[in-house]
Amino acid sequence: MIKLIGFIITVAIISFFYLPAQTATAQAGSIKINEFAAVTSGKTPDLDWIELYNESTEIVPLDGWELRDSIETSPKNLSGCIAPRSFRKFDFSNRLNNSGDKIRLFDDKSNLIDSIVYFTDEIPTHQSGQSTGRNQDGSGDWEVLTNPTPTTSACTSTTDTAINSSLKVSLSEVYPNPEKGREEWVEIYNPGSTKFDLTNWKLTDAANHAKALSGEVGGKSYKVFRYPSGWLNNSGDTLNLTNPTGKLVEKYSFGPMDKGLSFAKDAGNKWRVTTSPTPGKPNTITGQISNAMQENSISTQPDGDTLTASGLDPAVDYLGETFTLSDSTDQPIPRGKGKVAGVSEQKDTKDSLTTLLIAAGFAFLGTAVVWPFLEKKKRL
């Protein structure tokens, strides 16, 4: 009996330390190395590259993640996010050896998420102009692809800080991949009724490259800050807005963007891709909305009604931004609670901890109650 009680206590303690770690890494473990090209010139435009695939049904932020080959130094720093059942391609410069090498993926806590050694029996070699990839995506066997399929899917993160009317100013629109001869720009919006001084406010990217803001933005107005092309990564980046004390006011992580398009907030204050950038003016959302983005950009009007493409009043004003759609045949966006990536894992971890602590408590209590009787019986 004593041994049984000891066993129960041991299991409870081991579970306490082990299960939460397993739950916390479940989402990160859904990201797989899916395709790569190593036999290249290694120089622009023929760079080595690696494609990742997200097996899960949730957006996974990639800020702080790294890709490494067999060498520990000079990792490839990742940013942005990867949409559900979607892909992200990252250039890897002149890093992958033609004769064979390692490809390793680490999360923002330096946990090894996926690793392969290529040009082995399981992962065959390819020639210039080809690639090696999985068939099927994420979990299939590796094979040579004579027609490489590096893919980057659109992604906007739902884990970023949501802006609200209590903030003095907010991010409103981002133009990260300008057409030739044009500049990148970031638009700031002031929802208040009086002008606001932006002196000593800053914008920073995922690499912590800072851009100082200046001047004033009028009440219910916009101010655009333009920068030479190349500051924000075309393959995805993170934009941070900080106040003069250095406190983070708003953060927005985004994925790759085609030239000439922008990320803009809609009437429900959700980030969307638009084919009609409007620097310095109310945002207009036009163009085809991808399924991945539609599923993860559930928005409601201020009165709680479901936001639909065909039934939305273009004149509706939410924090000063109007919302229009060019295609009246677009389907309504379904109502939902807007599940945030990572929240369910944290909740599950908390529930597991609570359950385990209760179980451990009962085990110790049982031991304290039964032990004297067992000792007495042993002496008799």
Reported as a pLDDT band with limits 50, 70 and 90, residue 28 is low
Shared fold status for 31-145 and 170-295: yes
pLDDT digits (tens, 9 = 90+) for 219-238: 999 999 999 988 998 888 99
CATH of domain 31-145: 2.60.40
What pTM does this model have? 0.47
| Per-residue confidence (pLDDT) for residue 378, from 0 to 100 | 52
pLDDT digits (tens, 9 = 90+) for 339-360: 222 222 333 344 445 445 555 5
Q: What residue ranges do the domains of the chain occupy? A: 31-145, 170-295
pLDDT digits (tens, 9 = 90+) for 132-152: 999 888 888 999 999 999 988
Distance CA 345, CA 380 (A): 52
Among the CATH numbers 2.60.40, 2.70.98, 2.30.280, 1.10.3470, which is that of 170-295?
2.60.40
| Per-residue confidence (pLDDT) for residue 66, from 0 to 100 | 95
Reported as a pLDDT band with limits 50, 70 and 90, residue 310 is very low
Reported as a pLDDT band with limits 50, 70 and 90, residue 296 is very low
Residue spans of beta strands (DSSP E) within 141-294? 141-145, 170-175, 184-190, 196-197, 202-204, 210-212, 216-217, 221-227, 237-242, 248-254, 262-265, 271-274
Residue 273 near residue 260 (C-beta atoms within 8 A): no
